[in-house]
Amino acid sequence: MPDQLLFAMEVLLNGLMAGVLYALVALGFVLIYKASGIFNYAQGVMALFAAMTLVGIMEGQVPFAHLINAAFGTDLHVFGWQLSGLVGIVLTALIMIALAWAVNHLIFRHLVNQEPIILFMATIGLAYFMEGLGDLMWGADIKKLDVGLPQGINGWIDTVTFDAFGYGFFIDNLDIWATVIAAVLVIALMIFSQYSKQGRALRAVADDHQAALSVGISLNFIWVLVWSIAGFVALVAGIMWGTKSGVQFSLSLIALKALPVLMLGGFTSIPGAIVGGLIIGVGEKLFEFAIGPMVGGATENWFAYVLALLFLVFRPQGLFGERLIERV
């Protein structure tokens, strides 16, 4: 089998793994948008905040240590303990749930029935607030995140593909684990949405707020629930990208990768987020492989947005989105 074809197969496999992660990030947007009509600009910063909080908890850092030391002349930095990754993840998940309650109670409960642009601007303010809060709590330096996930080239895949094709596939163990975890979470969210009582309530709220209220569904509960789920999704995404590239400001930009996914799949479709993520992941990798050398490379930076622009022109509702027809 020609080396170019084998390399294309490796690129395709990496694209599928990247696509699953894109779909996971996009799901956080979809869940909140379906339930409340809010496009959550802060989803990427939620991933950054969750990752920073996880590192701080695992390392036993004192929150707001810089402020405390500056105000009282102390020299506090750590509590003196280090927690395992699992304990840190559980505690961080609880913090993200508390954050979801606070966001709904302090901000969006007071913005019911406001124009979508006002709600969107509120999420922009929330994003910058959370970014500043994270820096104040844990510091703005780049942090290393290690929750015990295996890293490095997978030797078994390398050996098997080399024996079969004479060409070893270089697949990172972290990418494999990230893909499996993200896929499990995506499937779990789909099952939750389709078959659980709370999932059916969420879909009822998404279809018609007033009808949902009339049958006894609590909008406040549903909104806290979806913000909590989005916070947990952000935590998982933050762990994956933070482990790979360190916990730093650029981690918040992963949300930008979700925008083309949403435009392809539709803002209200969970299956659309999955399919859109896979299309973007595979498409950008194969495009970089096939066309990148001809145009100087770096096509992964813009391919997804050009594809999304084409969808906006010819199918603005996305592959699975609902087409809105207004009668005048």
Q: Tell me, what CATH number does 204's domain have?
A: 1.10.3470
Contact yes or no for 48/238 (Cβ under 8 A): yes
Average of per-residue pLDDT values in the chain = 86
pLDDT tens figures, 127-178? 999 999 999 999 888 899 988 888 888 888 888 887 777 778 888 888 899 8
In a domain, 325, yes or no: no
Domain that holds residue 222: 3-314
pLDDT band at 322 (very low <50, low <70, confident <90, very high): low
pLDDT for 327 beyond 60: no
Query: Average pLDDT for residues 221-245, to the nearest whole number?
Result: 89
pLDDT tens figures, 28-66? 888 888 877 788 889 989 999 999 999 999 988 889 888
In a domain, 307, yes or no: yes
In a domain, 39, yes or no: yes
In a domain, 319, yes or no: no
pLDDT for position 133: 92
Longest dimension (CA), the chain: 69
pLDDT for 1 beyond 80: no
HEC-encoded secondary structure of the chain: CCHHHHHHHHHHHHHHHHHHHHHHHHHHHHHHHHHHCCCCCCHHHHHHHHHHHHHHHHHCECCCHHHHHHHHCCCCCECCCCCCHHHHHHHHHHHHHHHHHHHHHHCHHHHCCCCHHHHHHHHHHHHHHHHHHHHHHHCCCCECCCCCCCCCECHHHHHHHHHHHCCCCCCEHHHHHHHHHHHHHHHHHHHHHHHCHHHHHHHHHHHCHHHHHHCCCCHHHHHHHHHHHHHHHHHHHHHHHHHHHCECHHHHHHHHHHHHHHHHHCCCCHHHHHHHHHHHHHHHHHHHHHCHHHHCCCHHHCHHHHHHHHHHHHCCCCCCCCCCCCCC
pLDDT for position 82: 81
In a domain, 320, yes or no: no
Contact yes or no for 19/252 (Cβ under 8 A): no
In a domain, 321, yes or no: no
Number of domains in the chain: 1
In a domain, 327, yes or no: no
In a domain, 323, yes or no: no
Query: Average pLDDT for residues 75-103, to the nearest whole number?
Result: 88
